[in-house]
Amino acid sequence: MRRIGIISDTHGLLRPEAEQHLSGVDHIIHAGDIGRPEIIDRLRGIAPVTAIRGNVDTADWAAAYAATATVSLGGWMVHVVHDVHDLQIDPAATGIDVVVSGHSHRAGIETRGGVLYLNPGSAGPRRFRLPITLATLDISATGLTPLIHDLGA
């Protein structure tokens, strides 16, 4: 089994609680609104990272990140897009097993048409009264187990 850490909307803030929850994961996905390049550098100190840019990632450093990414992890295809409403593909028709998104700051897990949609929520500065969260995704040959973690910040 592999554990994937999934984080989004850090907006330049990587909380110690987030780093603790990500400790020991095999791979990290950042679904955009990184905020500062140092965030990805710190995440890379924990595990390999797949990251995309979000709508606030407009500085010159952000040009190094694509708007979407697709990665194979443990035999499962994961597509990453910042805002799920910007999804330009039919995930099921293109062999995608998981769609990871952020943007809304609202954590969610949903399966539609055989595809897992996972939004880890926001791990950065609190927005409105939404909880500060990230997610993990346990991947095995037989299935996917997503879990939202409240960082209690």
Tens place of pLDDT per residue across the chain (153 aa): 899 999 999 999 999 999 999 999 999 999 999 999 999 999 999 999 999 999 999 999 999 999 999 999 999 999 999 999 999 999 999 999 999 999 999 999 999 999 999 999 999 999 888 999 999 999 998 999 999 999 985
Residue 129, pLDDT score: 87
Residue 153, pLDDT score: 57
Phi, psi of 30 (to 5 degrees): -110, 120
H helices within the chain, ranges in order? 16-22, 37-44
User: Locate tokens 């880890």: which residue?
Assistant: 120
What is the C-alpha separation between 124 and 68, in angstroms, rounded? 20
What is the C-alpha separation between 18 and 10, in angstroms, rounded? 10
Query: Which residue, among 42, 57, 53, 106, has the nearest Cα to 80 in the 3D structure?
Result: 53
What is the C-alpha separation between 94 and 108, in angstroms, rounded? 22
Cα Rg of the chain, angstroms: 14
Task: Report the CATH number at residue 73.
Answer: 3.60.21.10
Amino acid identity of residue 150, one-letter, is D
On the 0-12 / 13-18 / 19+ scale of CB atoms within 10 A, 123 is buried
Q: How many domains does one find in the chain?
A: 1
CB 56 within 8 A of CB 81: no
User: Locate tokens 């998981």: which residue?
Assistant: 98
Domain enclosing residue 59, as ranges: 2-150
